[in-house]
Amino acid sequence: MTKVTALFDEIFQAFTRALRYGVRLIGGMSPAALLGAALVLALICAVLPLALTLFVVFLLVKLAFGASVLARRPRYTTYKDVE
């Protein structure tokens, strides 16, 4: 049990170090840089899920269309040489 608590303690310390680093980084930014970073982060959070969703939708449409086209094709017959 002590190994599990030590692991959680290490995870907590790493998380708090990263959080403190982020707060120091944001605190040292100028207002223009902070606005730019916020806009870039908002753009990434808004555009990336939309792009992934559209990719999945169009991929599913492509697969459904391809399956329907393949289902409608006539089966090829083997040809016999007739003399």
pLDDT of residue 55: 97
Residue 14, pLDDT above cutoff 90? yes
Q: What is the 3-state secondary structure (H, E, C) of the chain?
A: CHHHHHHHHHHHHHHHHHHHHHHHHHHCCCHHHHHHHHHHHHHHHHHHHHHHHHHHHHHHHHHHHHHHHHHHCCCCCCCCCCC
What does the pLDDT look like over 58-80, one tens digit per residue? 999 999 998 887 777 777 767 77
CB 26 within 8 A of CB 34: yes
Alpha-carbon distance of 70 to 76, in angstroms, equals 12
